[in-house]
Amino acid sequence: MLPLHFRSSFGSSFRLCFCFSRTVRVSSLVSFPLSLFSVSLRVMSKPPSAFDALMSAAKKNSKSKTSKLSSPPKKRKSPLSTSSQNPSNPKSPKLPSPPITVVEPEQAVKQEELVKPVKQEELVKPEAVKPEPRKVRQLLTSSSSKGKTEELKKQVPQLKQKPSSFDPASIIAWEKGQPVPFLFLALAFDMISQESGRIVITDIVCNMLRTVMLTTPEDLVPVVYLSANRIAPAHEGLELGIGESIISKALAEAYGRNENWIKTQYQKKGDLGLVAKESRSSQPMMWKPEALTIRKVFNTFRLIAKESGKDSQEKKKNHIKALLVAATDCEPQYLIRLLQTKLRIGYAEQTLLAALGQAAVYTEEHSKPPPEIQSPLDKASDIVKQVYSVLPDYDKIISALLTEGLWKLPKTCKFTPGVPIRPMLSKAAKSVTEVLNKFQDVEFTCEYKYDGERAQIHYLENGSVEIYSRQAERNTEKFPDVAAAVSRLKKTSVSSFILDCEIVAYDRATQKLLSFQTLSTRARKKVEIEDIKVNVCVFAFDLLYLNGQELLQENLRVRREHLYASFEEESGFLQFATALTSNDVEEIQNFLDQAVGASCEGLIIKTLNEDATYEPAKRSLNWLKLKKDYMDNLGDSVDLVPIAAFHGRGKRTGVYGAFLLACYDNNNEEFQTICKIGTGFSESVLVERSSSLRSQVISKPKSYYRFGETINPDVWFEASEVIVILTFLVDFTIILFPNCAVAYHHYRVILSLNGITVSLF
């Protein structure tokens, strides 16, 4: 008996006991990467982590009947090889390899007992050793798990078939009712990433969902959430909250890699998921943990999101490590991408919704489409999209889909207070004339377009108030003053409502609107009314729900009448959006000038009666925005210099993906950073720009570069090239940015280079 204490790179320690004869080498029993372990003769007392728990489970599955150590080693019976017991009998039966035993630190015996020889009579006879096939298969040398993986990889390409000819039963690699393997989803993602056609991608997703609905319907919710790269509805505010540094550390520790190596490979490949896949493929393990399931991954992601308080980052890292250790094939690649919330496989959520509707049509036998529906597949897609726009909650939609059926969804999944809908959006117009041409013979109204935060305010029957952002994020804690104002200013006849509005920074002393930049200085969480330094005013322009009645299908004129009748205005607290109903060009032009003069962005023009319903999540031609920064001949230009860059990732690997731009301050003789530009470049422009700037790379920033402490570009440049930026300005406001004080539009700069967008510091 030779027990060896090992300390792993994961921070846990354990002891391996090997039983062997003189003719059997340790290397013949087990192989493992030496990079993961270093010999240690001391017992560690560190509390077990999620990774330790995973390894402990694997250990239990791999123990044989004779592997328990409840007494000192001298009383333990171990098998001898046949050649050791009976060397004169060459035909003695061949023994199976001795089982590998893992001993927890608390079971460790004294060091002097470890070297005590085992007496010959204490050894069990060869025929007494009977390996347990079910447990032995957990070793990585097992062929059964590899066989299942290969079988699944052969079956998954069938997902590409047309749904009309696809049979979900032909692809089943797990028993009905059993959790769906995560590998199934990862392989489907991999197949989708190689396609570019929307129809083909929709077919793959549809067939994937059908397979899950047939075998394990309870896994449909996690499958859909992971496919949407989410773990919960947006309004719940449940996010993973992990940065790339934590993911990189977990990846390095799980696969025995150096963090610098991970970083270098990440820069080369531009995809941390590919780095994970490559690392896993070259990293064998002693024991094979249980295969990942979609349910396990989804629940672990939610657990990661809920970790908080002391050591929460360490706990999150250990959860990620446990998943990575159990991952095989392409699973590490998509685990990492899901953790980064950058799935990058080329399909949007609208495709997922369409596929879900089509999958329901093919799967439902008890729910036939109504006879008047000519195209069930198209109608099913439209129903799911429409339902999701008013109830963006996959848990509720899928539950109703599986219990009540697809065709009843509009009745079972309705617009509900407490669950934000996606706001209706507008399209841009460049002139008053264009507006009049589009709205010929249609009555329309013009409203000020305020420069604040779009908000959806829900007042529930129990008197509670919830405030949501345009992205459905919960902002109730951020605006307690708004919650108090709407509760106070609603009329007594109002018991519930949902208000569409803009929250704008407001100076009540001068009764003037303040900039979005001022609004953004407010704290975001746990705001107390008495601590508020930036006051806000609610500018209400639409009412979507009133006293238990949904108003989405009413035209704007009716909704506006309900709005005016349901609230009392109070200057600086709650006001109705300033509006004008006219089709006169000069009147509208003057109204636009008034809006700009009042520190607004411009106008929103909306139809009043015809085609005037509220269309959630839709950028509609029935709403047009007219802003001076969209109008011709109102631009100006500035000269900026690229002084640094960030390596491109994904499709931009090998070129610079974003640039840090600065302007020159003649008074202080220094370059001050203005913005970071990243999107809108064509591939040819990126290649050309990257090539020309590589000769200007320097080892560190110049002493006369002024930039924020949080700015950490990958490379720095000599200030040599000039980029001409065309800016469209609604108004000039002198704002002191962290690094530059210039006359600039208070929060937006639009570039002329192929529609490039920027972020200001």
HSE of 227, CA atoms in CB hemisphere, 13 A: 31
Q: Are strands 619-627 and 425-429 parallel, antiparallel or unpaired?
A: parallel
The three-class DSSP label of residue 8 is strand
CA atoms within 13 Å, Cβ hemisphere of 331 = 22
Three-class DSSP category at 372: coil
CA dist 216 and 294 (Å) reads: 11
List Cα–Cα distances, 203 to 181, 350, 504, 576, 620, in angstroms: 20, 13, 45, 47, 28
The letter for the amino acid at 356 is L
What is the DSSP secondary-structure string of 412-425? Answer: HS---TTSPPPPPE
Provide CB contacts within 8 A for 294, sequence distance 6+.
179, 180, 181, 182, 184, 185, 219, 222, 223, 226
Residue 4 to residue 19: CA distance in whole angstroms = 11
The four Cα atoms 441, 447, 451, 455 give a dihedral, to 10 degrees, of -100
**Long-range Cβ pairs for the range 368-373 (8 Å, 24+):** 368/407, 369/407, 370/407
Q: Which two tokens stand for residue 292?
A: 């990942």
Tell me the CA distances in angstroms from 94 to 78, 84, 89, 97, 216, one per residue in order: 16, 12, 11, 9, 44
8 A C-beta contact, residue 492 and residue 568: no
Provide the token pair at 535.
């006051």
Strand-pairing partners, residue 506, are 513
Neighbour count for residue 575 (Cβ, 10 Å): 18
The three-state secondary structure class of 697 is strand
| DSSP string computed for 568-636 | --BTTTEEEPPEE----HHHHHHHHHHHHHTT--EEEEEESSTT-S--TT-EEEEEEEEEGGGSTT-EE
- Contact between residue 468 and residue 475 where contact means Cβ atoms under 8 Å apart: yes
| 317 has catalytic annotation | no
Matching residue, tokens 């610098």? 260
- If residue 252 lies in a helix (H) or strand (E), which one and from where to where? helix 244-254
Active-site choice (449, 606, 627, 676): 449
Positions annotated as catalytic residues are 449
